[in-house]
């Protein structure tokens, strides 16, 4: 993992705004004091590539830039905040981005548009639940 990605993850975990080079973390405090819902956004070159609101899944977007840097930033967030036994990150095959899992086939995603890993993981977990336990 790159140094900038480690620093980015620390900023996300601490709820701090942070910027270094082409990468930025923004935290928005909830306006409703009763719920205290907060939102975190990760930007690359000014494009929001990841977003998380308290109580909801992480959402990701390549913003039309299926580049090694964009995939690396998103993958580092996925490896930190998604289920580590299922999600490996974002890769590419024949120029098409895909979410990769430890178990099951990769799922292709669009270069533009939001996606959530949890939706794909639920499918994989349901399929794996039919397997006998390995006790």
Quote the pLDDT of residue 119.
62
How would you classify residue 84: left for phi > 0, otherwise alpha for psi between -120 and 50, otherwise beta?
alpha
pLDDT tens digits along 104-115: 777 888 888 888
What pTM was computed for the model? 0.79
Work out the pLDDT band at 126, boundaries 50, 70, 90. Answer: very low
Stretch 12-32: mean pLDDT: 90
The answer to whether residues 40 and 27 touch, using CB atoms and an 8 Å cutoff, is: yes
For the chain, the average pLDDT equals 81
SS3 28: strand
Q: Which residue shows structure tokens 């039919």?
A: 130
Q: Distance (Å, rounded) from C-alpha 49 to C-alpha 59? A: 8
């Amino acid at each position: 993992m790159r140094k900038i990605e480690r620093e980015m993850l620390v900023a996300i975990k601490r709820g701090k705004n942070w910027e270094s080079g082409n990468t930025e973390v923004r935290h928005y405090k909830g306006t409703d004091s009763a719920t205290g819902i907060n939102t975190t956004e990760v930007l690359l070159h000014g494009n929001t590539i990841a977003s998380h609101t308290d109580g909801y899944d992480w959402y990701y977007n390549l913003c039309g830039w299926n580049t090694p840097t964009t995939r690396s930033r998103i993958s580092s967030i996925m490896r930190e905040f998604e289920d580590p036994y299922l999600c490996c990150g974002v890769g590419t095959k024949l120029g098409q981005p895909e979410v990769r899992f430890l178990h099951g086939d990769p799922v292709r995603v669009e270069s533009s548009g939001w996606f959530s890993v949890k939706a794909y993981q639920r499918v994989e977990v349901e399929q794996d639940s039919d397997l006998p336990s390995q006790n």
